[in-house]
Structure 1
Amino acid sequence: MSKTKLQNSINVLAQNFFIESVNQKYSYNFEWLGRPIIQYPQDIVALQELIWNVRPDLIIETGIAHGGSLIMSASMLALLDYCDAVKNFQIIDPTKPRRKVLGIDIDIRTHNLAAIEAHPMANYIEMIQGSSIAPEIIAQVYQRAKGNACILLFLDSNHTHDHVLAELKAYGNLVTIGSYCVVFDTVIDDIPVNIHKDRPWGPGNSPKSAVHEYLKSHSEFKIDKEIDDKLLISAAPEGFLKRIK
């Protein structure tokens, strides 16, 4: 079998697995340091690689849910702080982290808030409750982002085209050159519409359609297809956007 045919065969198998795994709620099986993360393992590994390589001072995340993604980002930032301290022969104070993750959600449930605030990584986490596309929330995020030399952005809240496009327009400018905006659940465009019958989004009205619309007028970003080719199974195909200028 040729390399191209083999790749196509693997892609088909990966797509079939993804569709069946969505039906089985596969992504709900996983936790990060004790909190449900609701992500595919391949995407978790990809985010780890991005955070390590980009070395952000601030990660902005829309969508909090149970807090697993915030905890994962916070733990990676803590590792970066630790490694910097080791390299520079410094002693770090974990109660005063240099790096932070900022989470935004329209409804931070009380039990999730309590669990996040009680977590050992809590010192690395800040949260804002409100719609990520509300002008007053956007203003708060921009104020918080001031003074950070490197910013990484994860979008994982409402998955409709209009909402994601509004988030991209609101926060895309905050992403620093060489860093990324990761748009989750672009895979909605690639799976059968009946899977989302109880949701306001679906093929053509999704994060992926928003990404394609945004890129028409924002050449400072490009889709990092090498990440897609490497992951094979991902909730964010064509959603890893690298800022190049």
Structure 2
Amino acid sequence: MNETERFQTEVAGNIAGLKRDIDVQALSRIWLREITQHKYAYNFRWLGRPVIQFPQDMAALQELIWDVRPDLIIETGIAHGGSLMLSASLLALLDYCEAAETGALLDPHTPKRKVLGIDIDIRRHNREAIEAHPMATRIEMIEGSSIDADVVQRVRERAAGKRVLVLLDSNHTHDHVLAELEAYAPLVGPGSYCVVYDTLIEDMPDNLIQDRPWGRGDNPKTAVREFLSHNRNFEVDEDIEAKLLITVAPGGYLRRVADGD
């Protein structure tokens, strides 16, 4: 065993230990419960745009993009555009690294990899900021409901023949997320992921979710459970949750393990 293999084995052991440590898991849930009321996820930006994510999940996305090497990232939910910038910049780095390995020339005006963002309401000031950003050439946007049949068809046409990674972070009701999973998860190939954000809603006290149509019993995690109950092509990657401990997507990192619809 060389040094790299020894280190990887040590990390795997660390993650396995965290899976067994119910005390540290409980402490993490307490921290999440207490920090959520302070809107902790709103505190961060990526390349100047509010990203509305936990830093831990941003780190996890970097690892997924490096491992999966997607041609296209599909994101539902745009808000201020920070998540689009995160995905676009990581794809740019991936293109750069691959070009350095192969000696290929990069054309910044026609990037190889792109992000497709979908939102029912792309506010004018956000659209203008996104379109003016240096990452704009890597970003495409569709305004409309992510579960509208016409929107789904446009996305499927855009994804045809590409290696796809899907990030779901729009309307968090059970029915909406389940419809998104049924529409977009089939675009993900074996080894890639469909990440469902804000599954932590199910684990939070009811009084932390106010003025929203979702809550305990009606949220992304309940949608994931129903989806997995009849779709055996995906499984929860428990290692990601275990190593992060702090995540908005407990049980939401879905890895495709088999072909099929």
Please report the TM-score for the alignment, with normalisation by the length of structure 2.
0.91
Aligned position for 1:105:
119
Aligned position for 2:109:
95
SS, match of residue 204 in structure 1: coil
Cα distance between partner residues in 2 of 1:4 and 1:87? 35
The answer to whether residue 61 in structure 2 is matched with residue 47 in structure 1 is yes
Cα distance between partner residues in 2 of 1:123 and 1:117? 8
Cα distance between partner residues in 1 of 2:53 and 2:183? 24
Q: Which amino acid aligns with 1:202?
A: G
Cα distance between partner residues in 1 of 2:241 and 2:87? 21
Contact 2:19/2:242, CA 8 A, preserved across alignment: no
Match of residue 23, structure 2, among 9, 20, 40 = 9
SS, match of residue 230 in structure 1: helix
Note the C-alpha offset of 1:17.
1.0
SS, match of residue 73 in structure 2: strand
Q: Which amino acid aligns with 1:153?
A: V
Note the C-alpha offset of 1:220.
0.2
Contact 2:18/2:243, CA 8 A, preserved across alignment: no
From the superposition, tell whether residues 204 and 97 of structure 1 become closer, same or farther in structure 2 (CA, over 3 Å): same
- 1:165-204 matches, within 5 Å, as 165-204=178-217
Match of residue 18, structure 1, among 6, 28, 32 = 32
From the superposition, tell whether residues 203 and 85 of structure 1 become closer, same or farther in structure 2 (CA, over 3 Å): same
What residue ranges of structure 1 are gaps of 5+ in the alignment? Answer: none
Aligned position for 1:208:
221
Contact 2:118/2:142, CA 8 A, preserved across alignment: yes
Contact 2:18/2:242, CA 8 A, preserved across alignment: no
Match of residue 69, structure 1, among 46, 71, 83 = 83
From the superposition, tell whether residues 94 and 192 of structure 1 become closer, same or farther in structure 2 (CA, over 3 Å): same
Cα distance between partner residues in 2 of 1:56 and 1:159? 25
From the superposition, tell whether residues 94 and 219 of structure 1 become closer, same or farther in structure 2 (CA, over 3 Å): same
The answer to whether residue 229 in structure 2 is matched with residue 231 in structure 1 is no
Cα distance between partner residues in 2 of 1:90 and 1:213? 45
Cα distance between partner residues in 1 of 2:161 and 2:23? 47
List structure 1 runs of 4+ shifted beyond 4 angstroms: 3-6
Aligned position for 1:128:
142
SS, match of residue 67 in structure 2: helix
Contact 2:165/2:194, CA 8 A, preserved across alignment: yes
Q: Which amino acid aligns with 1:185?
A: D
Cα distance between partner residues in 2 of 1:41 and 1:90? 32
Cα distance between partner residues in 2 of 1:81 and 1:6? 38
Note the C-alpha offset of 1:84.
1.1
From the superposition, tell whether residues 137 and 4 of structure 1 become closer, same or farther in structure 2 (CA, over 3 Å): closer
Cα distance between partner residues in 1 of 2:211 and 2:244? 28
Cα distance between partner residues in 1 of 2:247 and 2:94? 25
